[in-house]
A and B are shown apart, each in its own frame.
Chain A
């Protein structure tokens, strides 16, 4: 009887585990392997626009594994500069998201009942409108004769309109604005669980509110900071829409390079190499971090 129940629950568990596994297999691993394969092949003017990895030349199998796509990425400064610029934009945007998001998450976590629900609603509210539309709206705000310049001129604070569109500033504004909820929500989830008695204990032992925050609240919110930062940083590196609409024209981010290689130049293998390298750049540091720091943090909870 118990034997039956055990096999039953084991089977049920396999089914439950199987669904997400299948999802990841079909929609992540398989496409990834295709892209990986593509990145090692050669461009061709054909449909599809690449050469197969294994060719039969006169009845003899002939391998055509090329690393030239990767080599090319390092020879042309365009790619390296796009990678570095993307990393810089992602790091700066993540930093500002944290700077803005932490106090907001803190206030929401401290708010009482109805207030808390309302504030959380407000954080999620922008998702009701398309991301693309909201970024477009920023053009109207930032452009030469846009809302912000008009207001500043009217108030007499400036006499010449400020150039905000197509600058790094506009990209930061766009990314921080778009991804702020992804910073706030995990931070809120973390801060909300904090035990208020710990801050009272710190005060009781002589810590002023700021010291208590730095020594008690902040260290305990590190898992939330990491989760939020990753949720902002990873998509920010590959961001395409924001820099395309608001960003500089003289400096591309890697997402734009990838799309250009793919759609404009129809160089699928090179585009795939760009994608794989970006993935490695993101995944390897995160994996290393999780191996060392992640486990240490885990043990606190």
Chain B
């Protein structure tokens, strides 16, 4: 359970510079007990450096990190109450699976029987009970991943850092392992901080996530907050696919709710007041699955004119069949291409809209997210 009373991990104004390069730039972040917090970003966004500072492999150039209220600045990695699961798994190749898992407990100088019992329990948790005597090179990628997880959990850390935990697994195994990770996290009550570049992985795993870019945290929120209400064009574009339409806010007396958009050849109406000034340039982000595509104009509309609200006309340029859905590329009269996703709810291909058909695109007033930066 997530305990929001007090931050378990507190990152206060942490920066990390390598020479002239700023890898992590003034990051402040609170992570709560019991969370699965994903740090999501592209390569070079600083997410891994931030994780390595939490583990103690890098020291912050400025700022500080507190775990459970204790300043970690001067604590070496081997004394931190934190464990890490490495991207490469970093299993000791000369030790058996059992020895690998026992390593952490041996450092605590526990008794031999105690170690054997706990290693056995942990092997059962990761469903690898019969593999204790194998060497890492005798295991498959998925099995190694489990052993790496078991080894990082054996000391019962309150905080587990996971560096791209699923990156080395194939797609099917990854989906399966995701749910298992969540189950284990719940069962053991550990706080997870996961670094990933895979937005799908971040979405399904995390209770909250932080999107990183150029060493900064650009937005923190639940997966649905970040997907449905991205704060910037970068995030809207980074998480999932999106259509971004540039337009100007129309000046209206009581409440500004409309944007003139020349690319679309229509007006975008939204369901809330726009704080931007009249004629200010804004971007409306509309997710492909939130656009309706029809052969006939909606609501008995006869003609699409520049003053029509939330309806645009175009021609189907390309269709990508994905099985469960199809992605359409629709060219508008302005030449702008719009991406639309339609679920393939009918098996019959006849009913689907085909290439080169004239189509009408429409959306609800609640669908566009208006961004100013």
**Residue B131 interfacial (CB < 8 Å):** no
Given contacts A200-B77, A300-B135, contact A206 B107 (CB under 8 A): yes
Residue pair A202, B55 in contact (C-beta under 8 Å): no
**Residue A17 interfacial (CB < 8 Å):** no
Given contacts A200-B77, A203-B78, A207-B78, contact A220 B107 (CB under 8 A): no
**Shortest distance in angstroms between A208's beta carbon and chain B's nearest beta carbon?**
6
**Residue B84 interfacial (CB < 8 Å):** yes
Mostly, the A contact residues are: helix
**Shortest distance in angstroms between B261's beta carbon and chain A's nearest beta carbon?**
50
**Residue A66 interfacial (CB < 8 Å):** no
Question: Could you mark each residue 107-124 of chain B with 1 if its beta carbon is under 8 Å from any beta carbon of chain A, else 0?
Answer: 110000000000000000
Given contacts A200-B57, A211-B107, contact A205 B90 (CB under 8 A): no
**Residue B227 interfacial (CB < 8 Å):** no
**Residue A76 interfacial (CB < 8 Å):** no
**Residue A250 interfacial (CB < 8 Å):** no
Q: What is the chain B residue whose CB lies nearest that of A220?
A: B94
Residue pair B83, A204 in contact (C-beta under 8 Å): yes
Question: Could you mark each residue 92-111 of chain B with 1 if its beta carbon is under 8 Å from any beta carbon of chain A, else 0?
Answer: 11100000000110011000
Q: What is the chain A residue whose CB lies nearest that of B55?
A: A204
Residue pair A205, B88 in contact (C-beta under 8 Å): no
Complex-state Cα separation, A195 to B93, whole angstroms:
10
Q: Which B residues touch A195, using CB under 8 A?
A: 88, 90
Complex-state Cα separation, A301 to B136, whole angstroms:
11
Complex-state Cα separation, A219 to B96, whole angstroms:
13
Q: Which of A52-82 contact B (CB under 8 A)?
A: none
Complex-state Cα separation, A198 to B90, whole angstroms:
5
Q: Which of B102-156 contact A (CB under 8 A)?
A: 103-104, 107-108, 135, 137, 151-152, 155
Q: Which of A244-301 contact B (CB under 8 A)?
A: 299-301
Residue pair A219, B76 in contact (C-beta under 8 Å): no
**Shortest distance in angstroms between A299's beta carbon and chain B's nearest beta carbon?**
7
Q: Which A residues touch B104, using CB under 8 A?
A: 205-206
**Residue A197 interfacial (CB < 8 Å):** yes
Q: Which A residues touch B82, using CB under 8 A?
A: 204
Q: Which B residues touch A299, using CB under 8 A?
A: 135
Q: Which of A172-204 contact B (CB under 8 A)?
A: 195, 197-198, 200-204
- Name the residue among A205, A206, A299 with the largest chain B CB count within 10 angstroms: A205
Q: What is the chain B residue whose CB lies nearest that of A222?
A: B94
Residue pair A204, B92 in contact (C-beta under 8 Å): no
Q: Which A residues touch B238, using CB under 8 A?
A: none
Q: Which B residues touch A216, using CB under 8 A?
A: 92
Q: Which B residues touch A11, using CB under 8 A?
A: none
Complex-state Cα separation, A300 to B90, whole angstroms:
14
**Shortest distance in angstroms between B160's beta carbon and chain A's nearest beta carbon?**
11
Q: Which B residues touch A197, using CB under 8 A?
A: 86, 88, 90
Residue pair A202, B135 in contact (C-beta under 8 Å): no
Complex-state Cα separation, A202 to B83, whole angstroms:
10
A-B pairs with beta carbons under 8 A, tally: 65
Question: Could you mark each residue 63-96 of chain B with 1 if its beta carbon is under 8 Å from any beta carbon of chain A, else 0?
Answer: 0000000000000111100111010101111100
**Shortest distance in angstroms between B91's beta carbon and chain A's nearest beta carbon?**
8
**Residue A215 interfacial (CB < 8 Å):** yes
**Shortest distance in angstroms between B82's beta carbon and chain A's nearest beta carbon?**
8
Q: Which of B145-192 contact A (CB under 8 A)?
A: 151-152, 155
Residue pair B92, A203 in contact (C-beta under 8 Å): no
Q: Which A residues touch B86, using CB under 8 A?
A: 197, 200-201
**Shortest distance in angstroms between A115's beta carbon and chain B's nearest beta carbon?**
17
Complex-state Cα separation, A201 to B78, whole angstroms:
9
Given contacts A195-B90, A197-B90, contact A203 B77 (CB under 8 A): yes
Q: Which A residues touch B55, using CB under 8 A?
A: 200, 204
Given contacts A201-B90, A300-B93, contact A207 B107 (CB under 8 A): yes
Q: What is the chain B residue whose CB lies nearest that of A218?
A: B94
**Shortest distance in angstroms between A297's beta carbon and chain B's nearest beta carbon?**
9
Residue pair B93, A205 in contact (C-beta under 8 Å): no
Given contacts A204-B77, A206-B78, A206-B108, contact A198 B83 (CB under 8 A): no
Q: Which A residues touch B56, using CB under 8 A?
A: 203-204
Q: What is the chain A residue whose CB lies nearest that of B84?
A: A204
Q: What is the chain A residue whose CB lies nearest that of B76?
A: A203
Complex-state Cα separation, A200 to B92, whole angstroms:
11
Complex-state Cα separation, A143 to B70, whole angstroms:
63
Q: What is the chain B residue whose CB lies nearest that of A216?
A: B92
Q: What is the chain B residue whose CB lies nearest that of A199?
A: B90
Q: Which B residues touch A219, using CB under 8 A?
A: 94
Q: Which B residues touch A208, using CB under 8 A?
A: 78
**Shortest distance in angstroms between A196's beta carbon and chain B's nearest beta carbon?**
9
Residue pair B94, A207 in contact (C-beta under 8 Å): no
Residue pair A200, B90 in contact (C-beta under 8 Å): yes
Q: Which B residues touch A300, using CB under 8 A?
A: 93-94, 135, 137
Interface residues of chain B, those whose CB is within 8 Å of chain A, are 55-57, 76-79, 82-84, 86, 88, 90-94, 103-104, 107-108, 135, 137, 151-152, 155
Interface residues of chain A, those whose CB is within 8 Å of chain B, are 195, 197-198, 200-208, 211, 215-216, 219-220, 299-301
Q: 3 tightest A-B contacts by CB?
A: A206-B107, A205-B104, A201-B90
23 examples of A-B residue contacts, CB within 8 angstroms: A195-B90, A197-B86, A197-B88, A198-B90, A200-B55, A200-B86, A201-B84, A201-B91, A201-B92, A201-B151, A203-B57, A203-B76, A203-B77, A205-B104, A205-B107, A206-B108, A207-B78, A211-B107, A220-B93, A220-B94, A299-B135, A300-B94, A301-B93
